[in-house]
Structure 1
Amino acid sequence: MPIYISASELLLGAGDFLTIYLFGYMHRTFCEKRKYMIDRPWLVPIIYLLDWCMLFCANLQEIPPLNLLAMISSYLIPLFLVYYVKSFRQLTNFLFYLVGVMATEIVVGISSGYLNNEMGFRTQYERITPQTALLMNFIEMILVLFICRFGSKEKDRKSDNMIFLLMAMPFVSVALIVVDMFVLAVGKYENFNSGQFLRMAVLLVIVNIAIFVILEKYTELMRQEMELVQEKSRLESDAYIMQIAAKNMKERLQSAETVVQKDRMMRHDRRHFEALLYQLLEDGRTDEAKKYLSERLALEPKGIQKYCENTTVNAAVSHYIAWAEKEEIQTTVSANIPVGLSVDDMELAITVSNLLENAIHACMKLPEKERYLKLTAKYKNQLLLEIENSCEGKVPLDEDGHPFSNEKNHGIGTRSVVSFINKTHSEIYYIAEDNKFKVRMIL
């Protein structure tokens, strides 16, 4: 037996297909796809196709409550099956869409004559012309594009409670339209006033547009405020880290200065000691001379290796190179870092310390024979500093090109380095290769 499809059913099926496509567009705009759907992309079109079948079959019954329920279900079912729903905002956008569509149908229904006091619980699709269907579809597309263009993409639930009353407005609007349509369907309006329905539809659309604009503006202000709070927290954290690092660096500088002073004193007394030692040897008192010499050598301070002219940076380099050598790391240093740079010497020394410390930690994960660290610094109008070290595998970099680690209490040094780079308007580049890592800094 052949199946005949009327023109009105064909228009209805095409309109429902467009509706499902627009629903999918809204889903993609405001939501993130579930992982198992990403792994099975063929499943997504099947879900939407079945969704269209459900909507089309329900609309063929021409029962307004069933039509509304089918529209709501056809939006929610693929939304929860295919995507993550992380905020009420994603549902509110659909309610704004629903208000616009229902108001449009009221206006078109009154204009075409199928919305009247005798309609009952039937939708008269045969009275909808192709021109009317195209107009409704066009308005539907404009509505979805407007919501997707200006609607907030915020996926954080923190703002939901604060704007709950504003988000409830489209729900109230839908409820008002449904109640009025129900009253009209059961014939409770003895004197049907089409102007009253038109005014209600236009008023609800205007109110919901105003609520939508206020909601988005308020959300944007909240987002900016949250960003300011986060930025303030980050700056306070960076300042605290820099304070701790500066304190440690001052202690190293004081220790270095103590060593230098002690070395100067011993150099001053050396002439007298050498004269005493000579006299003891002249007198044949060899054992006594050895004893004094042994005691003198025990008191001899370990000198600070001079790697560059900048005393503050040199103290940091000397400390970490000594540590590296103690850990059996082969070190190579060629550093031309002068005094009088345009950046603060203490902050530069802290930054170099963080980079060297990260390099040493990376080397210590390898066997001793594979450990090496190279520090190169050249100055000509600007300072170019490069640190290269061996490492285990390939160091992962984040989206900004900075190294990161999931280990607890890691990443503080990198944040301190980034803070220094941003403050001094300098540049830094991390280069991760197999079993080798480089960092280049230009000041």
Structure 2
Amino acid sequence: MAETNNEALLISLLWVCISIFLADIYIYYLFNKLASLYNQKSQFMMLQQEKNLQTKYYNELENKYTEYRQLAHDINRHLGILDELYSNGHLNEAEEYATQIKKMMDSSKIAVHTNNKIINILVNDKIDTAQRNDIEFIYNCEDTALSFIDDIDLTIILSNLLDNAFEECMNNKAEHNTINLCICQINNFNIINLTNTCYTPPQLNHNRYLSTKAGHSGIGMINVENTVKKYNGSFMSEFKDHLFTTQITFTQML
């Protein structure tokens, strides 16, 4: 009888131990699941914050672009006023008016004209940045069939690529920095290719290059990749010979 009781007690203790062990495993699983969900939520919030910043950036640049278009629309009226001032002998007033027009043109000049508003806005903005920071900015922007990409999505792609390239060139303290942007169409493919000098080798994490900037975790580039995938495009980046290259390819939408 005693032996039977001892066996029952041992079996009970064994089941208790097994139950505690299984409970520990389940609790560990729950903690990992919660931690994963928290990380996913944090990353999602950072991605959304980045998208909101890109939307704000786009709106600011679009306002600048709208000002230029308004000025271009009114240029004939301005020329008519100048002609009238000169014809009536008001030379001083004419010269002052011409100076004001020149200032307005200089503050809203656009050097790139394509069939895509977003390309025009972003590239022209970076032309000014390049001139202020002594960066050689080479750009070849053709008319391409990118109208299938929403304006905000194209802003996310281009602004992140350009911002990263310009920040690297402005911070690396090299004697000469070059950024080369090519937006073109080859056969049935629309291609965005950006190359910039890069003297700090970026780190790789899960086949993705991390930002070399302190405090940055590559959220911007994750947004770019996700946006490219949204349109079934391909994304490639490479670091070689102090050059960082990113190429995005979309199959032409028919």
TM-score by length of 1: 0.49
CA deviation digits over 1:235-263, x for unaligned, max 9?
Answer: 22211221122012111101110121012
- 1:391 matched to which residue of 2? 198
1:331 aligns with 2:140: no
Q: 2:65 aligns with which of 256, 264, 278?
A: 256
Of structures 1 and 2, the larger Rg is shown by 1
* 1:305 pairs with 2:116: no
Give 1:66's aligned residue: none
Whole-Å separation in 1 of the counterparts to 2:203 and 2:242: 12
Counterparts of 1:200 and 1:337, CA distance in 2:
83
Distance 2:189 2:199 in 1: 32
Q: What fraction of aligned residue pairs are identical, expressed as a percent?
A: 19
CA-based RMSD of the aligned residues comes to 3.1
> Where do 1:69-218 residues align within 5 Å?
193-218=2-27
Alignment equivalent of 1:346, drawn from 142, 152, 157: 152
Matches within 5 A, 1:239-250: 239-250=48-59
Greater RCO between the two (CA within 8 Å, min separation 6)? 2
Q: What SS is found at the alignment partner of 2:209?
A: coil
Q: Which amino acid aligns with 1:374?
A: N
Q: Can you give the 5+ residue segments of structure 2 that lack an aligned partner in the other structure?
A: none
Higher helix share: 1
TM-score between both structures, scaled by the size of structure 2 = 0.80
Deviation at 1:377, TM superposition (A): 1.9
Using the alignment, how far apart are the partners of 2:217 and 2:126 within structure 1? Answer: 19
Alpha-carbon deviation of 1:338?
3.6
2:210 paired with 1:408: no
> Contact 1:316–1:350 at 8 Å: present in 2 too?
no
- What residue in structure 2 maps to residue 371 of structure 1? 177
User: Secondary structure of the residue that 1:364 maps to in structure 2?
Assistant: helix
Aligned residues: 248
- Residue 365 of structure 1, CA deviation: 3.4
Structure showing the higher strand proportion among its residues: 2
3-state SS of 2:134 partner? coil
Report the alpha carbon displacement of residue 323 of structure 1 after superposing the two structures with TM: 0.8
Alignment gaps of 5+ in structure 1: 1-190
Q: Deviations over 1:65-86 (max 9, x none)?
A: xxxxxxxxxxxxxxxxxxxxxx
Asked whether 1:232 is paired with 2:41, we answer: yes
Stretch moving more, 237-246 or 297-306: 297-306
Of the structure 1 ranges 348-357 and 391-400, higher mean CA displacement relative to structure 2 is found in 391-400
Q: Which residue of 2 aligns with 1:438?
A: 245
Q: In the alignment, is the contact (CA less than 8 A) between 1:330 and 1:373 conserved in 2?
A: yes
Which whole-Å deviations, capped at 9, do the CAs of 1:331-376 have from their partners, x for residues lacking one? 1112236466333221211321111111111112345652100011
Which residue, out of 28, 32, 38, partners 1:223? 32
Letter in 2 for 1:362: E
